[in-house]
Structure 1
Amino acid sequence: MEQLLQQIEQVKQEINTFEGYNGEAAETFRIKYLGTKGIIKGLMGGMKDVPNDQKREFGQVMNALKQLAEEKWEALKLAGGDGAAAGGSTIDWSLPGTQQQVGSRHPISIVRNEIISIYHRLGFAIAEGPEVEDDWHNFTALNLPENHPARDMQDTFYINQNPDWLLRTHTSSVQARTMETQKPPIRIICPGRVYRNETISARAHCFFHQVEGLYVDENVSFADLKQTLYFFVQEMFGKEVKVRFRPSYFPFTEPSAEMDISCTVCGGAGCSLCKHTGWVEILGCGMVHPKMLDNFGIDSNKYTGFAFGMGMERICQLKYVVNDLRLYSQNDVRFLQQFTSSV
């Protein structure tokens, strides 16, 4: 037993002093110490000569030796390139390390977070809802009854009919669900993905992202709406950007308007992005239709409100001059890496 322990101690010293920096050295070590005919296997064979009352102690010593050898082998493999084939080149430790790639947020996520931050400063909370909606929340409750002509612009992907379930066409459905469960004052923005039956091109896609806003309280006026949107535009695009409102139509607001800003690419001089008009439409807005308030048991004689909605892709296009909507969903690393500095 004493002689075996001396041999084990000598093998430990050999293992600790063994050096090698390639796959060949690691393989040599494995064969010599851990192979089927290796030193450790041979020492284990001496178990038969150990007295019975010492076999347990000897077994513990051998297990420790084997563990030491395995740890040394793993270190040698790592130094040699994880067990590279014999004859592989050694590592040049003087070379600089490999630079790690830094990821980035998606441009839509960057814009979404910035929009949320701006409206958060105005006291707007975030509200979210399901992407698969029923007809009531997506259309009827928003003053879009069946066979209403405005529905033609929002025919989308139906999951089921009778009853109708569909992929939501706008995040206005989240406004509907909020008014269903909350009473004024209500001040929310609703970011999320929406779907339309559109031909995919550089200017349109079958899905995109919206941020809609809703404010319902006593004595809310169109002036409140305009000042809210003025603040948003100046925070997002800068103080020098001009704003204009044009009369429009939406079933769930009255009066309604489209809001344009001076083109951020050409500065209002005229370019292909603004179709040489100097103006770019960024959102629709208006005062909440009284019928929509009544649909959710909110007294339209006491409360008024405003709503607005914008496409995140359009905001992103103006902020980063992206000329093709398809780039947002193609996962092209060359495109996404341009936004690394925006993390």
Structure 2
Amino acid sequence: MSGPNTDYDPVEVTPLKAEEVEAARDAALAAITAAADLAELKQVRIDHTGDRSPLALANREIGALPPQARKEAGQRIGQARGAVAKELGERQTVLEAEHEERMLVEETVDVTLPTDRVPAGARHPLTTGAELIADIFVAMGWEVAEGPVIEAEWLNFDALNLGPDHPARTMQDTFWTDPGTDHLVLRTHTSPVQARTMLSRTPPIYVVCPGRVFRTDEYDATHSPVFHQVEGLAIDEGITMAHLKGTLDHFATQMFGDGITTRFRPSYFPFTEPSAEVDLVCFVCRGVGEHDGAPCRTCRGEGWIEWGGCGVVNPRVLAACGVDAERYTGFAFGMGIDRTLMFRHGIEDLRELFEGDVRFTTAFGTEL
């Protein structure tokens, strides 16, 4: 019986020859050094450490050797593969660092350049303006009330002491819905919200009512068939015109700055008695009538700007809405939000607020 073949010479296996292993190792190290970027290094890794690489194929041949020859061959192949793996790791670190530095240079973004992206949009100044006004009154302890834009004729007119023959009921001022027998209109003011509030609540009442209103006006630089109003209503015991004056002075100061006060001019409104027009001290010339040595263009040299209407709530309106006119009194006021914004920001054409140009809207930012 024959014994093991102790005379087998491992150098006869070509891939395991020392010079072949060294050549494969040196070729791998040279390719690693020559790799200029991570993509080339990835290909080098496949070529020289993959399953079909020379060193991987040589490693498979070790199993064919007799036991006494495997140790030396295994050490030779292991050292070569270890050297290649070490060099790969070091080269990977260097190339990754170079890649990051190159990205910082090549992909730098100049944030001061104009963007070519389509802007997503912005909050409309009428929206933020209405919210600012509401916040002013909420800070005073008032509440915000809302109502529908399609309103009953009785709430829009009759409850507010506008009789059947009042000119505001005609087609010249009011949008009526079809059929006319429904007695529905697009509200011509936000005062119906005041009527709804008095019908549903018990005094004391302190509410502010911002919203859209509709009138058959021509569309031009100062008029629109759709515009925005804010109305205030206070119903309590002992309410006087003095409370109204103080409230509007505070409102004007918050909207236009310190030192801006109001004045009342006698007027007539069916739903208030007495009634007054509200004027603002001109916020440009501060009531002087001149600005930069010339008549003030904002107030036309008068020192005052017309702002809105106000007055003590007519007892007939209180009675129509179920409020005891013998016990309670109140005041009401109304201003155009659009007109207020035009004053506040120097907008000369009302149409700019409605044409939807985001270049106009974004100039106001997200808050006023």
TM-score of the superposed pair, with normalisation by structure 2: 0.65
Bigger mean CA deviation after superposition, 99-108 or 120-129: 99-108
The answer to whether the 8 A contact 2:128-2:366 is kept is no
Larger-gyration structure (1/2): 2
The answer to whether the 8 A contact 2:249-2:261 is kept is no
Instruction: Name 1:94's counterpart in structure 2.
Output: 107
Superposed CA offset, 1:37-81 (max 9, x none)? xxxxxxxxxxxxxxxxxxxxxxxxxxxxxxxxxxxxxxxxxxxxx
Shift of 1:242: 3.5
The answer to whether the 8 A contact 1:103-1:340 is kept is no
Instruction: Name 2:353's counterpart in structure 1.
Output: 328
Secondary structure at the aligned position of 2:198 is classed as helix
The answer to whether the 8 A contact 1:104-1:342 is kept is no
Aligned length: 258
The answer to whether the 8 A contact 1:265-1:321 is kept is no
The answer to whether the 8 A contact 1:252-1:292 is kept is yes
Partners of 2:203 and 2:367 lie apart in 1 by 37
Aligned pair 1:191/2:210, yes or no? yes
Q: 2:161 aligns with which of 125, 143, 166?
A: 143
Instruction: Name 2:78's counterpart in structure 1.
Output: none
Shift of 1:265: 3.1
The 5 Å alignment of 1:96-135 reads: 96=109, 103-135=121-153
Instruction: Name 1:254's counterpart in structure 2.
Output: 273
Shift of 1:338: 1.3
Shift of 1:152: 5.4
Structure 2 unpaired stretches of 5+: 1-37, 41-104, 290-294
Bigger mean CA deviation after superposition, 147-156 or 243-252: 147-156
Instruction: Name 2:64's counterpart in structure 1.
Output: none
The answer to whether the 8 A contact 2:277-2:310 is kept is yes
Task: Report % sequence identity.
Answer: 47
Instruction: Name 1:61's counterpart in structure 2.
Output: none
| Residues 148, 141 of structure 1: alpha-carbon distance in 2 compared, 3 angstrom cutoff | same
Instruction: Name 2:308's counterpart in structure 1.
Output: 283
The answer to whether the 8 A contact 1:150-1:251 is kept is no
Partners of 1:237 and 1:222 lie apart in 2 by 22
The 5 Å alignment of 1:302-341 reads: 302-340=327-365
Instruction: Name 2:21's counterpart in structure 1.
Output: none
Partners of 2:170 and 2:348 lie apart in 1 by 27
Structure 1 unpaired stretches of 5+: 1-17, 21-91
Secondary structure at the aligned position of 2:343 is classed as helix
Q: Note the aligned Cα RMSD (angstroms).
A: 2.6
The answer to whether the 8 A contact 1:170-1:194 is kept is yes
Secondary structure at the aligned position of 2:308 is classed as strand
Partners of 2:123 and 2:366 lie apart in 1 by 9
Partners of 1:157 and 1:113 lie apart in 2 by 27
The answer to whether the 8 A contact 2:240-2:329 is kept is yes
Superposed CA offset, 1:2-42 (max 9, x none)? xxxxxxxxxxxxxxxx969xxxxxxxxxxxxxxxxxxxxxx
The 5 Å alignment of 1:21-100 reads: 93-96=106-109
